[in-house]
Chains A and B, each alone.
Chain A
Amino acid sequence: GENVEQHPSTLSVQEGDSAVIKCTYSDSASNYFPWYKQELGKGPQLIIDIRSNVGEKKDQRIAVTLNKTAKHFSLHITETQPEDSAVYFCAADSGGSYIPTFGRGTSLIVHP
């Protein structure tokens, strides 16, 4: 089955800095790569996703890049704000299953 590795486990930045979270996956047939944000006491919420036919996608301060050859994808957050503090999960579906496998999460802390 799919195996998703996520780094770093914790990321601490100053407000206004950029943050980058990286993930690798094992199944070359994966074609859907979502990112979820989980705030304390809440369920994960989708913030951005990318499909295998696209190399990069942006939504305001958030961007995701995908390198299918290397089987890795990254989340980039620019101009970080304290409200960006949360746990972020990457995920990848196993080709044919359409069921995402999640990474272990990155705890992002943005200091004012």
Chain B
Amino acid sequence: ETGVTQSPTHLIKTRGQQVTLRCSSQSGHNTVSWYQQALGQGPQFIFQYYREEENGRGNFPPRFSGLQFPNYSSELNVNALELDDSALYLCASSLAQGNTGELFFGEGSRLTVL
């Protein structure tokens, strides 16, 4: 069974640029959630995708957008990067929408915005 994998692991961007982060969910999981974790903070919910549809969104501006593909992998896109977007971006997969249960996290993508 393959776990959640994220790419890239680290990247550096400058203000105003755009970034795409990728996530492959754990085998058999159809729900993907994205979290932003600033240094020394807990993960903050960005949004969740279930069967290619957005299913819940946290308090993040529209320049944070996402996609889920038929194989349940997912992308997080951030436009017009700001310095405060520097953080660890975590992807988590789970078994089913509407079924509160364990989130399986990847190791994250560390984004630095200069």
Q: Is B66 an interface residue (CB 8 A)?
A: no
Interface on chain B toward A: helix, strand, loop, or mixed SS? loop
Instruction: Indicate whether A102 sits within 8 Å of B43 (C-beta atoms), given known contacts A42-B107, A44-B90.
Output: yes
The residue from A32, A45, A102 contacting B100, defined by CB atoms under 8 A apart = A32
Chain B residue total in the interface (Cβ 8 A): 24
Q: Is B70 an interface residue (CB 8 A)?
A: no
CB distance from B12 to the nearest CB of A (A): 18
Instruction: Indicate whether A43 sits within 8 Å of B90 (C-beta atoms), given known contacts A98-B100, A100-B103.
Output: yes
CB distance from B109 to the nearest CB of A (A): 11
Chain A residue total in the interface (Cβ 8 A): 25
CB distance from A26 to the nearest CB of B (A): 15
Please tell me if the beta carbons of A102 and B42 are within 8 angstroms of each other in the complex.
yes
Complex interface residues of chain B between 33 and 59 (CB less than 8 A to chain A) = 33, 35, 40-45, 48, 56
Q: Report which B residues bind A (CB closer than 8 A).
A: 4, 33, 35, 40-45, 48, 56, 90, 92, 97-103, 105-108
Of the A-B pairs whose beta carbons lie under 8 Å apart in the complex, a sample of 8, sorted by A's number, is A4-B42, A44-B43, A46-B102, A46-B103, A89-B43, A98-B97, A102-B35, A102-B42
Q: Report which A residues bind B (CB closer than 8 A).
A: 4, 6, 31-32, 34, 36, 41-46, 49, 89, 91, 93, 97-105
